[in-house]
Structure 1
Amino acid sequence: MTVRDMEYELARAETAVADLRSNRNDRWYPRVHIAPPAGWINDPNGISFFGGRYQVYFQHHPYSAQWGPMHWGHVSSTDMVTWRREPIAMAPSLEEDRDGVFSGSAVADGDELVVFYTGHRWRNGRNEGDGNLQVQCRAVTTDGIEFTKQGVVVEGPAGLPHFRDPKVWRMGEKWFMVFGVCSADNRGEVWLYTSADGEAWDFDRILFRDPDPDAFMLECPDMFPLGDKWVLAYCPMGPKPTGYVSRNGHNAGYVVGDWAPGSDFVALTDYRLVDWGAEFYALQSFEAPDGRRIGFGWMGSFTVPPASQAEDGWSGQLAVPREFTLGDDLRVRALPIAEFAGLRSHTDVLGAQVVTPDAPVTVLTEVDSAEVELTIDLAGSTAERVGLAVNATPDGHATLVEYDDLARRVNVDRRNTGHGEKGYRSAPVDPGDELRLRVIVDRGSVEVFLGDGAETVSSLIFAADGPREIRLYTESGTATITSLVAHRLGSIWEND
């Protein structure tokens, strides 16, 4: 196809998503999470700061709420609080990306934002039945909006079924690229390439091979420094569930290790989950201008259709932006970026509480989107469970965000949510005298941050009909709450 063809494809995609948008049902559509105007979203891509704005691109199918040939959707912001919808950035327009402009990343290089992405084709032209043809491509923009594709920079080795998702960064004058691979012997690996100019690339080494023989592909790798260590985040395809770990159709985790250019990556930790929830995938991070490491993940599912997919005209969202730090225990901490507090439109300080099973506390009524900060005095409580019933409706439906003292875990329990997938997800709690929870509730999701962010639990929740409340409750004993603060949140959109 020609560049003119891409202009046509972009215009056609914009018309399609506008048509979907005109019939979008907003009952669960997010107010404080990035999502396309309509259609499908998955992996965050090209996260960067360029042209005085934070740029967030994402995998997008503008023609339906189902996964389909991937485009790059786009939003931008000056502060990561209020976001502006931008035109769809890229559509399939080359022979090499005819079946999808797959995931990738971006590097600001002077007056240009340089994007690397996977050009995707089905070998048989229809589906993955005979494998994929995948190559790494380059595109550039001077305004973050209109892109010029420059073609293939890394060819796919013959015979490999999976070879995708380039994450690129630069150290000094040298460029580095990692991407996920399914090896010839069906093992998940991360490969490293290097370049002097970002255009001509050379294979450096197999940087990492998942020790789990069931992991046949490592999607969406991201490699970044925290302190004097390096974090290698990736999404292993194939591992079997083990206890509370890897319960989802698609899971995201990380290892921490030592690495320097020209050397091997030496893992110092085992694989750990990035997030314990039912929907968190494809983490991508970037270094903000002030040096913080900030990342986004996808809340959605390839394997369990979200409830909004059926008739609401949209599917999926991105998690709130998180700042990542590394503890002395080599555990990655994640908390909402400080700027997120700028969405707080009204705050209720409910103070200390002693809660009994027969007297739950109403925290907020008529909830659209909210944030609750809660500190539980574990040493002074006797309850077996204490938590928040979020998006509770008059007919008795709710999602439970609760601390289970017997299991020493925090659960997001969707058994009585209303619509969509049931079940629960659970994160471990380190023993201590108190537990701090920070809970972000949107129309169709909940994100829970434990303590200093050592663990998080993020899941989609699709409430029943009717006005929604947040209530504080206990089971089998009393709970001593030393602090309870509730914030109503405004919308992130400046042009929605």
Structure 2
Amino acid sequence: MTISNQEEYYNETIELIKKANEYISDGKANVNQEYRNNYHVMAPVGWINDPNGFVYYKGEYHLFYQHYPYDTVWGPMHWGHVKSKDLVHWEHMPVALAPTEEYELDGCFSGSAIEKDGKLYLMYTGHYERAGTKREVQCIAYSEDGIYFQKYKGNPVISENEIKGSASIEDFRDPKVFKKGDLYYSVVASKTKDERGRILLFSSKDLFNWSFKSVLLEGNKEQGIMWECPDLFNIDDKDVLIMSPIEIQKNKYEFYNINSTAVFIGNVDWQTGKFKVENYHEIDYGLDFYAPQTCIDEKNRRIMVAWMQMWKRNMPTNDLKHGWAGSMTLPRELHVKNNRLVQSPIYDIYELIKIDTAFQEKNIQDDTLKFENICDENSYFKLKLDVEKTDDFQIRFAKSENEFILISYDVKEEVFTVNREKSGHKITGVEKPQLFERSLSVIPNNNLLILEIFRDTSSLELFINKQFTVTDTFFPIEKGKDLEITAKGKLIVKLLEKGNVH
């Protein structure tokens, strides 16, 4: 089916897209701004979850996302859309996709984007779930300008015929498309009959006609009942597969969230389509990080963004009827070092940080160092801490009389912990016991811990020794702005810088 023959088909979707855009335009004026972030991607109104279609296209970064504009809870998924030149300042675009066809009546689920012959193609999951029937199929939409999209009349492009004996059509979603050599490939999430995660690999010459290639990777019983949102890429001479396992079993400090994120590092045999795993671990050690997706830009940077929220927990902005729910993380550049995935803030953001407070070499000996009115709603901190003669320390961030985020480190045990239990509105979920903190093992580098903290109103992203990340949301009631550092033993604050992102 040629693109020129699909104009009539495209016109059938206009009314539903128009309805969504009009609702967003009218409704965004009524959104409560109290906890809205400044430079993280959010929908103008309504609910968002997974990032979709993250791509560098015609000199700009495009990010789509799962979006239900009509409420602040999950509903029939649309694709929201933003674009940016610097990954910090984002422009809202019209809704890209809405569920209009029989194969997607209950949602245009997650997917990805790729450029071909100057056009932007979206590959996504059409979701149908009615009268006891559940069906998930893979679909294509395309655009001449990256803004207005037409759905391919031959959809779905991957369905029952392509997965016979490999997966159930009931749980078959989240295609991530990429090109290698002369072929296009797509990894798609699925699971086995006995509920183990499974990633399938498909190939195509033209993005429209797809063939099953292989079961790329399959998990064991401990690695989750379903693997969502896969992404496969090569970086630093390693093949990297990221995904979001559901109910993966805890392993020391890892995988405490009911839905987690994991990275598998190794090599793909492209003849057999099999992934040989050398190492796997959790991607982020916070409470609010899910469904990461990457893109590669003109500088050959591999950049990742994730949904900064978590399934099966309450969301304060929904509870408070603020008119919005959900946000994306700060984009992060990826590398593989010592067979582990490491993340750093995209360097573009440092050009936008203005430092207004800085000092070096302050000692804390069994005491507390206090700073008043320093934790603004938009604030950046960099700390270099010498812990050689320290037993432990605590940082109370955004502190008021009764509220704070507690950041602590046990030097002997080499355990770093972030706790949000006393940070404001309670966030609870299905985990038992209730989960208010996450810990991880961090070994100081020459006795130094280097912390970078990005706080954007209701989000906290912590980068530790350029190796680990912790991502949490929090919704303070008292709006505290103080910072306190308490040390047992001697803690040397070799550097503290504070600034704002502009």
TM-score (normalised: structure 1): 0.92
| SS of alignment partner, residue 157 of structure 2 | strand
Match of 1:352 among 355, 361, 365: 361
CA displacement 1:82-134 (0-9 Å, x = unmatched): 2111111111111111110100001111220111000001042xxxxx46200
Match of 1:426 among 432, 436, 439: 439
| SS of alignment partner, residue 278 of structure 2 | coil
- 1:437 alignment counterpart: 451
- 1:12 alignment counterpart: 19
| SS of alignment partner, residue 229 of structure 2 | strand
Residues paired across the two proteins, number:
479
Match of 1:460 among 473, 478, 491: 473
| SS of alignment partner, residue 152 of structure 1 | coil
| SS of alignment partner, residue 221 of structure 2 | coil
**In the alignment, residue 455 of structure 1 is paired with which amino acid?**
F
The answer on whether the counterparts of 2:349 and 2:501 sit within 8 Å (CA) in structure 1 is: no
TM-score (normalised: structure 2): 0.91
Quickly say closer, same or farther: Cα 1:196–1:36, change in 2 above 3 A. Answer: same
Match of 1:449 among 439, 463, 477: 463
Cα distance between partner residues in 2 of 1:346 and 1:336 = 17
The answer on whether the counterparts of 1:160 and 1:183 sit within 8 Å (CA) in structure 2 is: no
- 1:100 alignment counterpart: 107
Quickly say closer, same or farther: Cα 1:478–1:363, change in 2 above 3 A. Answer: farther
Match of 2:409 among 378, 383, 403: 403
| SS of alignment partner, residue 244 of structure 1 | coil
Superposition pairs of residues 55-94 of structure 1, within 5 angstroms = 55-94=62-101
CA displacement 1:61-82 (0-9 Å, x = unmatched): 1001101111111110112232
Is 1:320 the counterpart of 2:313? The answer is no
Quickly say closer, same or farther: Cα 1:398–1:326, change in 2 above 3 A. Answer: same
Residue 216 of structure 1 deviates from its aligned partner by: 2.0
| SS of alignment partner, residue 33 of structure 1 | coil
- 1:302 alignment counterpart: 311
Is 1:487 the counterpart of 2:496? The answer is no
Residue 263 of structure 1 deviates from its aligned partner by: 3.0
- 1:271 alignment counterpart: 280
Residue 430 of structure 1 deviates from its aligned partner by: 1.9
CA displacement 1:264-299 (0-9 Å, x = unmatched): 434333431010110101110011111111011111
Q: RCO higher in 1 or 2 (8 Å CA, sep ≥ 6)? A: 1
Cα distance between partner residues in 2 of 1:347 and 1:333 = 29
Cα distance between partner residues in 1 of 2:495 and 2:16 = 53
Is 1:178 the counterpart of 2:191? The answer is no
Cα distance between partner residues in 2 of 1:449 and 1:267 = 29
| SS of alignment partner, residue 295 of structure 2 | strand
Cα distance between partner residues in 1 of 2:67 and 2:484 = 37
**In the alignment, residue 415 of structure 1 is paired with which amino acid?**
E
Cα distance between partner residues in 2 of 1:5 and 1:424 = 48
Bigger mean CA offset, 112-121 vs 480-489 = 480-489
| SS of alignment partner, residue 147 of structure 2 | coil
The answer on whether the counterparts of 1:295 and 1:323 sit within 8 Å (CA) in structure 2 is: yes
**In the alignment, residue 405 of structure 1 is paired with which amino acid?**
V
- 1:330 alignment counterpart: 339
CA displacement 1:341-365 (0-9 Å, x = unmatched): 1331443222222135544231753
Match of 1:371 among 380, 394, 399: 380
Quickly say closer, same or farther: Cα 1:434–1:109, change in 2 above 3 A. Answer: same
The answer on whether the counterparts of 2:68 and 2:76 sit within 8 Å (CA) in structure 1 is: yes
- 1:143 alignment counterpart: 145
- 2:348 alignment counterpart: 339
Residue 196 of structure 1 deviates from its aligned partner by: 1.2
Quickly say closer, same or farther: Cα 1:251–1:186, change in 2 above 3 A. Answer: same
Cα distance between partner residues in 2 of 1:250 and 1:154 = 26
5+ unaligned residues in a row in structure 2: which ranges? 1-7, 428-434
Match of 2:422 among 416, 419, 426: 416
| SS of alignment partner, residue 73 of structure 2 | coil
Match of 2:234 among 221, 225, 242: 225
Residue 475 of structure 1 deviates from its aligned partner by: 4.0
Quickly say closer, same or farther: Cα 1:357–1:89, change in 2 above 3 A. Answer: farther
Cα distance between partner residues in 2 of 1:383 and 1:285 = 39
**In the alignment, residue 289 of structure 1 is paired with which amino acid?**
E
- 2:390 alignment counterpart: 382
Cα distance between partner residues in 2 of 1:88 and 1:438 = 34
- 1:261 alignment counterpart: 270
| SS of alignment partner, residue 22 of structure 1 | helix
**In the alignment, residue 464 of structure 1 is paired with which amino acid?**
I
**In the alignment, residue 476 of structure 2 is paired with which amino acid?**
A
Quickly say closer, same or farther: Cα 1:34–1:470, change in 2 above 3 A. Answer: farther
Quickly say closer, same or farther: Cα 1:295–1:20, change in 2 above 3 A. Answer: same
**In the alignment, residue 399 of structure 1 is paired with which amino acid?**
I
RMSD: 1.9
- 2:159 alignment counterpart: 155
The answer on whether the counterparts of 2:368 and 2:487 sit within 8 Å (CA) in structure 1 is: no
Give identity over the alignment, percent: 29
The answer on whether the counterparts of 2:381 and 2:498 sit within 8 Å (CA) in structure 1 is: yes
Bigger mean CA offset, 408-417 vs 190-199 = 408-417
- 1:132 alignment counterpart: 134
**In the alignment, residue 108 of structure 2 is paired with which amino acid?**
V
Cα distance between partner residues in 1 of 2:501 and 2:273 = 45
- 2:43 alignment counterpart: 36
CA displacement 1:142-187 (0-9 Å, x = unmatched): 1111001102110144744200000010012210100100223332
5+ unaligned residues in a row in structure 1: which ranges? 125-129, 491-496
Quickly say closer, same or farther: Cα 1:356–1:312, change in 2 above 3 A. Answer: farther
Cα distance between partner residues in 2 of 1:117 and 1:296 = 18
The answer on whether the counterparts of 1:258 and 1:266 sit within 8 Å (CA) in structure 2 is: yes
